[in-house]
């Protein structure tokens, strides 16, 4: 029992928590991006996707709670490791190591905290409608496939990103997110003991590749709105706007 408690308090366990929670978050980011890109397919697709998520009922909340837990554990483990490293490393060692490390690796804690604030901001904006409530209540949309009137997620997103300040804040946050992911992938696999040279070659390139995909994919939506590629859907007959 004492050995288990010792392990749970160890730096190794904290690193494992950070790695596994980080990989779960990256998996969520992949799924979230695929859903968001439906904005380019028009209101029927993205509103249908949102309706499908809503119809998951309790299962959706299981996923939400799991992701909130993963975010919480990732933040806790990141801060805990940063505090332990600061207490254990002499200043000279930090200075020498920083010369060999990348900018992304040196700013992991900063970019991680920026992402945390962005996630909170994003939830307040598009999930709870506290920020820009006038755009959150963007009216209803009648599904062409079923005739069901649903929340107009498409117009809500368009209206949100038509605000230059909102769009710019998202772009800055996405830059931090991509920087974080770029270094996090290879670091997570190393922490989990996946150190085979052939696999390491792949994972070392996977992080930057995913970071680029995330940056381009997520940025394409606010940019698409700002340049008019994604436009507000026209009102439908007999649907309250």
Which DSSP string do the residues of 109-150 spell out, in sequence order?
A: HHHHHHHHHHHHHHIIIIIS--SSHHHH---EEE-TTT--EE
Judge whether residue 136 has pLDDT over 90: no
> How far does Cα 91 stand from its chain's mean position?
33
Of 25 and 94, more confident: 25
Name the residue with higher pLDDT: 212 or 124. 212
Look at residue 108 and tell me whether its pLDDT is greater than 70: no
Look at residues 52, 57, 49 and name the one whose alpha carbon lies nearest to residue 154: 49
Q: How many CB atoms lie within 10 A of CB 143?
A: 14
Does the structure show a pLDDT above 70 at 50?
A: yes
pLDDT of res. 192: 76
Q: State residue 104's pLDDT score.
A: 52
The pair of structure tokens assigned to 10 is 């160890």
Least confident stretch, 9-13, 17-21, 45-49, 214-218: 9-13
Question: What is the number of other CB atoms lying within 10 angstroms of the CB of residue 173?
Answer: 19
pLDDT above 90 for 225 = yes
Closest CA to 185 of 210, 159, 213: 210
Asked if residue 99 has pLDDT above 60, the reply is no
The residues that bridge with 140 in the sheet, in sequence order, are 151
Q: What is the mean pLDDT of residues 43-47?
A: 94
Whole-prediction pTM: 0.81
Q: Which CATH architecture has domain 12-226?
A: Up-down Bundle (1.20)
pLDDT above 60: residue 98 = no
């Amino acid at each position: 029992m004492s050995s288990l408690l010792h392990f749970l308090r160890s730096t190794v366990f904290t690193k494992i928590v950070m790695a596994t929670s980080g990989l779960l978050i990256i998996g969520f980011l992949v799924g979230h991006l695929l859903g968001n890109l439906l904005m380019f397919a028009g209101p029927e697709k993205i509103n249908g996707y949102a309706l499908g998520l809503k119809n998951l009922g309790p299962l959706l909340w299981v996923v939400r709670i799991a992701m909130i837990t993963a975010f919480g554990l990732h933040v806790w483990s990141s801060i805990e490791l940063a505090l332990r490293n600061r207490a254990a490393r002499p200043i000279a060692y930090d200075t020498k190591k920083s010369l060999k490390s990348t900018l992304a690796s040196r700013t992991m804690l900063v970019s991680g905290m920026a992402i945390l604030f962005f996630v909170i901001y994003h939830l307040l904006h598009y999930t709870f409608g506290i920020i820009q409530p006038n755009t959150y209540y963007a009216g209803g949309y009648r599904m062409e496939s079923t005739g069901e009137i649903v929340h107009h997620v498409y117009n809500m997103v368009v209206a949100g990103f038509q605000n230059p300040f909102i769009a710019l804040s998202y772009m800055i946050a996405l830059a931090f997110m991509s920087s974080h992911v770029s270094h996090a992938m290879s670091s997570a696999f190393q922490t989990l003991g996946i150190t085979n040279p052939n696999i390491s070659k792949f994972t070392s390139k996977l992080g930057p590749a995913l970071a680029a995909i995330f940056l381009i994919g997520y940025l394409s939506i606010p940019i698409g709105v700002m340049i008019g590629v994604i436009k507000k859907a026209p009102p439908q007959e007999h649907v309250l706007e």
